[in-house]
Structure 1
Amino acid sequence: MERSMKRKLERLKEDEMRTILLHQWTLFSYLEMGKISEKEWFDRIKEMNERTERECDDRLTPFQGEEGNGVEHVHIVFSESTKGSLQLALNQKESREEVIALSPMFSIGPIQDLDKMEGIEKRKEWLFYHLVIDDEEWMHMGEDSLKTIEDLRSIPTGVPVTIWAGNNAHEQTGIRFVMHLLKNKPNEIDVVQVTDVLDFPLHTGELSPDRFAVLLERSFRFPVSGQIKKSYRDEWHALSEENANLRVWVEGIQSKSEDYFDAALIQSLKRLQGESGDYIKAARLIGEVLGHSSQVVGDSFFEYRVRELVLQREFLIRGVPRGMRYYEVKGNTGQVI
């Protein structure tokens, strides 16, 4: 409930928030001075809250109401940071364009039936038992996921859609999920493969607003044919049925076992320890592997594998593994099988 309201209030501008706060202070002052009764004060606060919540709801649902009818273009990205950068670039244009972000890390965890509550709950369960994740984020994951899916499916007919992605399993799997969700939409859909266009970013989150502005001006959009849309949907069904919890990008999306990165973690720890054999901060080890990896799976997945290697007695641990900053690891040179 609190998070839902917080998410709504984030849609308000700073001057709007200040106006609401000033109004509340003024009403409270009137109450203290006896200019209004407690009932009148309560009724006015309640009316203001209801009006604010309606306004926030309208903004959270971009394609409903009079404002939504004027949307000229919809952009789809796969992280909140990417959404922020792209939105800043779009703000320089006079046209009305919306950005929708799908936040799940599609390269890790179950993805079967991800457009249904049962699939979302199965994914939530896997995340709960394997990754260190914010409790609030985890609790509202189902609500947030279904809301984003609803936004995608409510895109007005005739409004062109552009999907932005790099060459990584997260965003490429995301493209296929979006094509599955929009299978009944006749809208024109373009895909901007930023790695191919710029020849460097693995992930759209690496793009600054200025870089997005350049891409928007040059219009590197490639319309997706009906046949390619079907191919994307078929690939989504195949991937979701493989029941894998890790996907990597190696000349395409490939499903792998969860221990795929373990060898890299073990070798990186040996290199960091050198001759000393000292304990190494888990955060440093994970940062080292992330820095040398061409894959986009998130640091939480790497930390999960560090903890698994501790359980397997490949690593020794010092500290409490409540987060990668709180413990250290080193290789178990005296390991007994």
Structure 2
Amino acid sequence: MLKQFFILCSGSDQDILNTCSNGEQNKYAGIGATVFFTAVMAFIAASYALYTVFDNYFIAMGFGVIWGLLIFNLDRFIVSTIKKRDHKINELLQATPRLLLAVIIAIVISKPLELKIFEKEINQVLLTEKNQMTLENQEEISKQFLPNIRNLETDISALKNQITVKETEVNALYDTYIQEAEGRAGTKLLGKGPVYQEKRDKHDMGLAELQDLKVSNQAKIEVLEKQIVDLRNNQQTQVQNTQPIIDGFDGLMARVNALQKLPWLPSFFIFLLFLAIETSPIIAKLLSLKGPYDYKLEDAESTVKTWATQKMNARNEILKTDMALNNKIYKDISEEDELYNYKRKKARELMQLQADAFFQHQKKAL
């Protein structure tokens, strides 16, 4: 039963092949087995490729079955349409477009399996790319918030600088009235005189202004710092919202691009393997000698062709004979006086009716 199934996969005529030897049947069973297992590999490859897209086993396997059947049908068609000829050049010419199609199928089948075979290496490449994309994403988002944050930080620095300047001024006033009391500056009189009191009052006024400035600027600084915190929170929120997009950057196209960044030689050898599998039935047919099955198939096809040609020639001869008879019959009828007088009478009546109708029309017009 398995042998019959593989013969069915080869696309050969089973009625003719059953009349051939076991060796001839085994040859086509081997070709059919290659076609079948190529379709199985196509199913596996398509299922994995579509799983990376849909992330669902059932959908991936459903489309994988359809793709496997499509490849099976194409391979079966390619193999079954190659006929053995008397000259190898003719066989090569008819096989050339089929070989090109086989190369395309091999590429389509091998690429998803390469993605699976080199999955760990591809994941490492994708991880590096994701990390780079994360840094670039954070940098891009930071550019949106950084100018505002810097402006707010500049305002905070300006407010703090006002306090510092005022503190320096108050400290200078403090040193001034202390030095006046100790007689080291100003009037150089030891003790707390009128000048000392004046400088002391000026210092106290500055100190009060400093306290008010601290309270006022501190309130402004707290507002600005809250705005900075809000901006940084918004920045972090945007980073978190966009990170899942980067984490999900492992689809089919991303993996294919990552595969291209790996060394090409291992991937090329896998492609050659599938190319050999895909083209092996065609090459086997080209290299094999013309066997009993080929002769019997050619005989059956030539029989049908001869029969169809005979029927077409017979119909052409019948048509020519019928046309000759019709021409002769119509020529004989055209020479009869009775038919001539009858048609002459009818033509006269028709012309009279036309003349009467024209007369009536003209009469109504007047």
Please, what TM-score do these two structures have when normalized by structure 2? 0.19
Counting helix residues as a fraction of each chain, which structure ranks higher?
2
Please, what TM-score do these two structures have when normalized by structure 1? 0.21
Larger-Rg structure: 2
Higher relative contact order (CA 8 A, sep 6+): 2
